[in-house]
Amino acid sequence: MTDTTLNTDWLDSIKWDADGLIPAIAQDAQTQRVLMVAWMNREALMLTAQEGRGIYWSRSRQKLWRKGEESGHVQVLHELRLDCDSDVIVMMVTQLGGIACHTGRQSCFYRVLKDGKWTVVDPVIKDPSAIYEHKHE
């Protein structure tokens, strides 16, 4: 990663949506598995680059959300990528604790369409009630 503490011109290349947000896909840097999708505003993306960890904008709480601030399951950033239309971010990360989903699973994408219904195919690694004191992230 380059030093982004002073130069933030790169943020101007992004096509933010009407709410000033961009979807961000967190992908495991080693396995390439998609772990989760969340939203970033300008500040969240800038801080993600500066701090080298996944930081998002919580639309429900209307505030910055540092992934792992409650659970300890921090996302260590390896690389940021911007798609060809400049409207989606892909983050290559190492997911500390191996759990990205508030359900206690490795990935938020744990259901597969089989025989016309969504079937859970990934196990819960850790019970969410043992992870969070309050409601999920």
Please give the helix or strand (H or E) that residue 101 lies within, else none.
none
How far does CA 34 lie from the centroid of its chain?
Answer: 10
Q: Please state whether beta strands 117-120 and 111-114 pair in parallel, antiparallel, or not at all (unpaired).
A: antiparallel
Determine whether the annotation assigns residue 17 to a binding site: no
Tokens for 70, please give them. 């409650």
Q: With pLDDT > 70 as the criterion, what percentage of the chain qualifies? A: 92
pTM: 0.88
pLDDT at 137 over 50: no
Predicted confidence at residue 130, as pLDDT, reads 86
- The structural domains of the chain, ordered by start, are 20-131 (3.10.20.810)
Determine whether the annotation assigns residue 87 to a binding site: yes
Per-residue pLDDT of 27-64, as tens digits, reads 999 999 999 999 999 999 999 999 999 999 999 999 99
Determine whether the annotation assigns residue 85 to a binding site: yes
Determine whether the annotation assigns residue 115 to a binding site: no
